[in-house]
Structure formats: structure tokens, C-alpha cells
Amino acid sequence: MRHIHGKMNASTPPVIEINALHKAYGPLEVLKGVSLTAPRGHVVSLIGSSGSGKSTLLRCCNLLELSQQGDIVFEGEAVRWTGAGRARKPADPAQVTRLRTNLSMVFQQFNLWSHMTVLQNVMEAPLTVLRQPRAEVEPRARALLDKVGIGAKADNWPAELSGGQQQRAAIARALCMQPRALLLDEPTSALDPELQQEVVRVIKDLAAEHRTMILVTHDMRLASDVSDHVIFLHEGMVEEEGPPDQLFGAPRSARLRQFLSATMPG
């Protein structure tokens, strides 16, 4: 477990702040007033059973899902809304675009474009979304592929890579946008155990660099190793939260104790 880095200036706003967020699909209430703070340079992990709202909360952070109530604040700037309840939507499309380009997401299923090489995948968004010059983007993309250990695969097609290599390419692609924060949604759960470790090593390296991350994971050891703060979601609410040594070493909630006994046998 790592120690919280207390280097952040008190006046620095969190990269992401979620306040009392509600999200429902029809009659099913998935998030019931969830709050979260991700300070700069910190790793926040979301744990909990399937269906507890973890991935939905992550997708609400960058507006892939629209919440019906509550505030989303990015570096001190609140998302502006129009309408209310199920009719609520962002009021400023330019603000949404800016927010999304600063919050890069890594998905469970990699989502690489099959018709592009690995290098092209990593370069695509900075070239087309940020309109950065290729002479600037390509060296950065190649350096990131080296960083995640697949520099030699730059000219391969995604189908020629293992699952672990594809997920590392997806992480390089997310980093190439130079985001303020990484949002990782179950980045290891689609991989067999051996390939999981390749991705875990990359995530640990990023945490050691004090990159701001929100991580949804079923891997309790990973959450324990890389997190500054862990949030246990249960049925759409924050059941317990705190530093990893507290949550994993001395859980207060009976529900969390039950969850950990099922996910951390022995």
C-alpha cells in the first residue's frame, strides 16, 4: 500500500469531484446520491459487487452516461446542465468536449480499432480530436508504446496482439491524449491471470508516477497496492470509504467484510 502523497497545494481543486450523483435506468436506480473526490496525483479505486454502480459512476464522470441529479466538477469547473431529472442534459457541448479530452477512459474490452495499426490507434485521437501535428504526436505515441512494453508491436494490427498487449496499447492510447486523469473500467477482468499481470505492472508504474486515476476493479490486491483512497459501493451507495489499509485491514461495515471474505479468500 502506498502513502498518500500530501504534495497537493490546499488551493488546488480536485481533478474530479462528484457530489450526490443520482442515475436511474427506467425504474432501476443505479446511483443513489454518490459522492467522490479525486485529488491531483491520487488513485481512487471503486470496488463492490457487480451491479453496485461502479462502472456507471465512472461513465458519468466523463458524461458517457448522463446523471439525473447531482454535480460533476472538473478542476473547479462545474458541468453546466439544462433541464431536470430525466430531461437533464449538458448545456454546453464545448464544455463536454473539453472535459472528455481531459479524462481518458480505458475500457474492459480494449476497444482498439481493428483497421488501424497499434501506432495508428495510439495517434488517432490527438491527431483528429486535438488536431496536434503528426511530428509532435508520433514520437510521443512511440515513447508511450515503449513505456507500456510493446514498442516493438507499433506496426502490428490489434488482432496480432495478445489481450494483455491490446490492453497496454489501449492504455498508451489513453495517455497519448495527455489527460488530466485516467478512468480505468475493469482493465484486467477480460484477461487470463498471466496476462493480467502485464497490465497490473503498467497501472502500478502509472500510480508510482502520481498520475490521477479512478480505477474500477475486482482485483482487491491491485486496489490495495495502488490506491490512495478506496470506495466500496453497495446497491448504488457508498457503504464505506477510506485509505486501503483501513478498508482492507479493518473494515467497519458488515457488508464490506462479507464482500472481502468472498473476494479475498484466505
- Examine the pLDDT at 43 and tell me if it is beyond 60: yes
pLDDT (0 to 100) of residue 11: 72
Confidence at 8, pLDDT banded by 50, 70, 90: very low
- pLDDT computed for residue 4 by the predictor: 44
What are the beta bridge partners of residue 233? Answer: 238
Q: How much is the pLDDT for 10?
A: 55
Average pLDDT value for residue range 108-137: 96
Q: Distance between CA atoms of 172 and 210, rounded to whole angstroms?
A: 16
Spell out the residues 6+ positions from residue 255 whose beta carbon is closer than 8 angstroms to its own. 232, 234, 239, 240
| Mean pLDDT along residues 3-20 | 72
Question: What is the Cα–Cα distance from 5 to 135, expressed in whole angstroms?
Answer: 35
* Amino acid type, 225: D
255/240 Cα distance (integer angstroms): 9
End-to-end CA distance of the chain: 19
Helices (H), the chain: 54-61, 93-102, 118-128, 134-147, 163-176, 193-208, 220-226, 244-249, 254-263
The model's pLDDT over 214-259, given as tens digits with 9 standing for 90+, comes to 999 999 999 999 999 999 999 999 999 999 999 999 999 999 999 9
Cα 48 to Cα 142: distance, rounded to the nearest angstrom: 36
pLDDT at position 7 is 44
Alpha-carbon span 160 to 136, nearest angstrom: 27
Q: Is the pTM of this model over 0.75?
A: yes
Strands in 66-121 per DSSP E: 69-74, 77-78, 81-82, 89-90, 103-106
Of the pLDDT bands very low, low, confident and very high (cuts 50, 70, 90), residue 154 is very high
pLDDT higher than threshold 60 for residue 24:
yes
The C-alpha atoms of residue 20 and residue 32 are separated, in whole angstroms, by: 8
Signed CA dihedral, 96, 101, 105, 111: sign only = positive
| 173 pLDDT more than 60 | yes
Average pLDDT over residues 77-102: 95
pLDDT band at 93 (very low <50, low <70, confident <90, very high): very high
Per-residue burial over 188-207, b if 16 or more Cβ lie within 10 Å, else e, is: bebbeeebbebbbebbeebb
Q: What is the pLDDT of residue 265?
A: 62
Is residue 72 a contact partner of residue 20, using CB atoms and an 8 Å limit?
Answer: no
